Chains A and B, each alone.
Chain A
Amino acid sequence: MDRNLTHRNRKRALKALHFIALFLTMAIICIPGLWIVLNSFRPTVEIMAKPPVWTPSFTLDHYRAMFGGTGEGGVPVFSYFRNSLIVSVVSTLIAILIGMSGGYAFARYRFKGKAGYFVGLMLFRAVPGVALSLPLFIVFAKVGIIDTHFGLILVYVAMNVPFTIWLTDGFFRQIPKELHEAAEIDGCTRWQAFWRVEFPVARSGVASAAIFAFLTSWNEFALASQLTRSVGSKTMPVGLLDFTAEFTINWGGMCALAVLMIVPALVLTFIVQKHLIAGLTFGGVKG
């Protein structure tokens, strides 16, 4: 009887601890984001107040100012948004096309130096992007693609391809090779077998690779801040710097722009997460 009781109590205690740990972790992850959102709706005085004001007031001043004229703290939000969108979407598409082909090749074919290539690609990931910023700057400046969408897209494709290869390789590896063999016997060419059978089966993997690639490009700051200068090519993270002046930082405005930056990423993740969670619809083969 007593033993049962102690065990039951221990189980309860563990469960409680589990919840507390989860809560703390989520708090650490979520509170900064929440703080940004809250700050974007607060007057500057309140943001800077010490001790902090716990009952927030609500104002849209920062958003109004941001979309307003240049002289009144406005920034070219639409241009930045457009730049970010173009660069992220195009670089993601290219990275997925190249990365998926590469992942498929690594998963399906045997070729000389395969392991070496793969390790090489992963090593490439290990190089911190910032370390490349100066060489990239010089090369891009000489070639004349500094401060262009094209230059930034090129950089992001290079950053995302290795990771995409690695991720899609794993997904294609999980698809038994009998599926494309069956498709080929059913009359498909190798190309048809891929697009009609293997690609649809791996689409959740491709979707997650795309999300990662998109978010990487969308959020990237270090390289973009070096390689873009003008309104015509600056992306949103770089645009955040517009709110820092020599002696002051417009925290409210920065937070407002940050919110605009977070929203599309969140929406996209929500749309695609269904695919991610739906997971692999295996069952076509004995599993």
Chain B
Amino acid sequence: MTEVTLSNVVKYYGKHRAVHGINLAINDGEFVVLVGPSGCGKSTTLRMIAGLEDISDGEVTIAGRVVNDLPPRERNISMVFQNYALYPHMTVRENLGFSLVIAKADEAAIAKAVDEAAEILGLNELMDRKPAELSGGQRQRVAMGRAIVRHPDVFLFDEPLSNLDAKLRTQMRVEIKKLHQRVGNTIIYVTHDQVEAMTLADRIVLMQDGHIVQVGTPLELFNKPNNTFVATFIGSPPMNLVDGKVVGAETIELYGGLSVPVPAAARGLISDGQHVKFGFRADNLMPVGHSVQEEGEKADLELKVTLTEPLGTETVLFTEIAGNEVQAKMLNPRPVRPGEVLKFQLMLDKCHVFDAASAEAIRG
């Protein structure tokens, strides 16, 4: 059983505090993704778990053991680096077997483990090549193979796909997920790409400025963002936010004159005159006749399209509400000219209200 826990973990670089007392419990076999913009402390956190950075304060445990002061080699972890960090002077076979050679395993055991890993990752053809003779995707696979050879308690991935081109990234994403289903180890994965986070994670840990902003399953973060940062970070295109003010108890007046009813989830939790941000995703604002037929409260809007992004099965329409640029989605798309005025339906049940001052979600 390999749980990883972080309690009040703090990292100082000199006087600069990079990580502010993080608490996190990761279950055995869980795939956890640390995601956030660059400089949010996600890589630092991972490196503290790996033992590559000192832990300034707090406690990290792996498999029930406090590892704060253990060197990386005694933590029984594997790590895949962004730049792969393959040993350039060794062949693929030697790269894969290196950890076992260091551990003084006998040759037959090494050969067996290496062949097994090569089999899983389809590296059989490449075993006698040097890293310089491999393509980016192959190097990535070797790095993963090197990680699985030692049967670690925990896999750590530090932005492993950032150096690959878009197509390969999608492929490798699938391979990583397959790998996890096959070996079932605990995985902690760092990325700045919310798509990777959504597609891979059992649980996402969203970080900002050295704090954890929200922890939850991908759908929890998508459907119930704690604040505007989560709302705009998770999901593509990002959630639309429109400034507005509560009038009475039932209506939000968006600046610019448009009014919408208060979504059910926020009813009773807001007060007259409160400044809010009204949020909704592009999927919940669709032109009439090009939308999903769903039950629920709806509001009708007439909006002028300023720009279109056709994606095939859908077209993203850019429009404006109360001076804020807003994106909408059109299913079964037909060509739309910029400047065309369309009738839209806004799914009120799926809308969010955030306090303008604190950016926190207002939700029952």
CB distance from A18 to the nearest CB of B (A): 32
Provide the residues of chain A in CB contact with B99, threshold 8 Å: 186-187
Residues of the B chain whose Cβ atoms lie less than 8 Å from the Cβ of A283 = 86, 88, 130-134
Taking A188-B73, A188-B102, A192-B102 as contacts, is the C-beta distance between A183 and B87 under 8 angstroms?
A: yes
Provide the residues of chain B in CB contact with A185, threshold 8 Å: 50-52, 72-73, 77-79
A7 contacts the other chain (Cβ, under 8 Å)? no
In contact, B98 and A284 (Cβ under 8 angstroms): no
Q: Which of B51, B52, B84, B146 contacts A186 (CB 8 A)?
A: B146
Complex alpha-carbon distance, A183 and B52, angstroms: 11
Which one of B51, B87, B150 lies within 8 Å of A284 (CB-CB)?
A: B87
B98 touches A186 (CB 8 A): yes
- B318 adjacent to chain A (CB < 8 Å): no
Name the residue among A176, A182, A200 with the largest chain B CB count within 10 angstroms: A182
CB neighbours (8 Å) of B133 from chain A are 283
Q: How far is the CA of A89 from the CA of B99 in the complex (A)?
A: 36
In the complex, the chain A residue whose C-beta lies closest to that of B99 is: A186
The reply to whether A284 and B102 form a contact with Cβ atoms under 8 Å apart is: no
CB distance from B244 to the nearest CB of A (A): 47
Chain A residue with the shortest CB-CB distance to B147 = A185
B102–A187 CB distance below 8 A:
yes
When chains A and B are docked, how far (Å) is the Cα of A47 from the Cα of B139? Answer: 63
Chain B residue at minimum C-beta to C-beta distance from A200: B89
Known: A192-B102, A281-B130. A187 touches B83 (CB 8 A): no
* B132 nearest in chain A by CB position: A283
> With A and B bound together, what is the CA distance between A176 and B83 in angstroms?
9
Q: What are the residues of chain B within 8 A of A183 when measuring CB–CB?
A: 87, 98
Question: A117 contacts the other chain (Cβ, under 8 Å)?
Answer: no
Q: Please tell me if the beta carbons of B130 and A189 are within 8 angstroms of each other in the complex.
A: no
A286's contact among B50, B52, B73, B83, by CB below 8 Å, is which?
Answer: B83
B71: Cβ under 8 A from any A Cβ = yes
A180 to chain B, nearest CB (A): 9
Given the contacts A186-B146, A281-B132, A181 and B87 also touching, CB distance less than 8 Å: no
The digit string for B151-176, where 1 denotes a CB below 8 A from any CB of A, is: 00000000000010000000000000
A86 at interface, CB cutoff 8 A: no
- In the complex, which residues of chain B have a beta carbon less than 8 angstroms from the beta carbon of A186? 73, 98-99, 102, 146, 150
- What residues of B have a CB within 8 angstroms of the CB of A284 in the complex? 84-89, 131-132
Bound together, the chains give a CA A174 to CA B79 distance in angstroms of 21
The complex places the Cα of A249 from the Cα of B136 at a distance, in Å, of 65
Q: In the complex, A184 Cα to B72 Cα: how many Å?
A: 6
CB distance from A112 to the nearest CB of B (A): 13
Would you call A178 and B77 a contact (CB within 8 A)? Answer: no
Q: Is B103 at the interface (CB under 8 A from chain A)?
A: yes
- Compute how far the CA of A284 lies from the CA of B146 in the bound complex, rounded to whole angstroms: 13
- Residues on B with C-beta less than 8 A from A184 are 51-52, 71-73
The reply to whether A201 and B81 contact each other, CB–CB distance below 8 Å, is no
A65 at the interface (CB under 8 A from B): no
Report the separation of the CA atoms of residues A71 and B150 in the bound assembly, to the nearest whole angstrom: 73
Nearest B-chain residue to A202, judged by Cβ: B89
Complex CA–CA separation, A196 to B97 (angstroms): 13
Which among A176, A186, A187, A282 has the greatest number of chain B C-beta atoms within 10 A? A186
B86 and A285: CB pair below 8 A? yes
Known: A281-B130, A283-B131. A181 touches B72 (CB 8 A): yes
- Residues in chain A near residue B51, CB distance under 8 A: 184-185
**Segment 171-219 of A: residues with Cβ below 8 Å from B:** 176, 178-179, 181-189, 192, 196-197, 200-201
Contacts of A200 in B (CB 8 A): 89
Asked if A281 contacts B89 (CB within 8 A), the reply is yes
Task: List, in ascending order, chain B residues with CB within 8 A of A179's CB.
Answer: 85, 87
- Residues of chain A within 8 A (CB-CB) of B50 are 181, 185
On chain B, the residues within 8 Å of A280 by CB distance are 88
Q: Is the CB of B81 within 8 A of A178?
A: yes
Q: Select which of B87, B136, B150 is within 8 A of A197 by beta carbon.
A: B87
Closest B residue by C-beta to A179: B85
A192 to B132, CA, bound (A): 23
Bound-complex Cα distance A111 to B136 (A)? 36
Q: A144 → chain B, closest Cβ, in Å? A: 46
What residues of A have a CB within 8 angstroms of the CB of B103 in the complex?
187
Chain B residue at smallest Cβ distance from A197:
B87
Nearest Cβ in chain B — how far from A236, in angstroms? 36
A183 to B51, CA, bound (A): 13
A279 CB to closest chain B CB (Å) equals 11
B85 touches A281 (CB 8 A): no
Chain A, 110-141, contact with B by CB distance < 8 Å: what is the 0/1 string?
00000000000000000000000000000000
How far is A284 from B51 in the complex, measured between Cα atoms in Å? 22
Cβ of A148 to closest chain B Cβ, rounded Å: 40
| Cβ contacts A257-287/B at 8 Å (1 or 0 each) | 0000000000000000000000011111110
Query: How distant is the Cα of A100 from the Cα of B130 in the complex, in angstroms?
Result: 26
A279 to B7: give the CA distance in the assembly, Å: 47
Within the complex, what minimum Cβ distance (angstroms) separates A173 from chain B? 15
Most chain A CB within 10 A, of B78, B83, B130, is at B83
A–B Cβ pairs within 8 angstroms, 18 of them = A176-B85, A181-B52, A181-B81, A181-B85, A182-B85, A184-B71, A185-B51, A185-B77, A186-B102, A187-B103, A188-B102, A201-B88, A281-B132, A283-B88, A284-B86, A285-B84, A285-B85, A286-B163
Q: A179-B85, A187-B102, A188-B102 are in contact. List 9 more A-B contacts (CB 8 A).
A: A178-B83, A182-B146, A183-B87, A184-B73, A192-B102, A201-B88, A281-B130, A283-B134, A284-B85
| Chain A residues close to B by CB (< 8 Å) | 176, 178-179, 181-189, 192, 196-197, 200-201, 280-286
Which 10 A/B pairs are nearest by Cβ-Cβ distance?
Answer: A283-B132, A284-B88, A178-B85, A186-B99, A284-B86, A285-B83, A182-B85, A187-B102, A284-B131, A187-B73
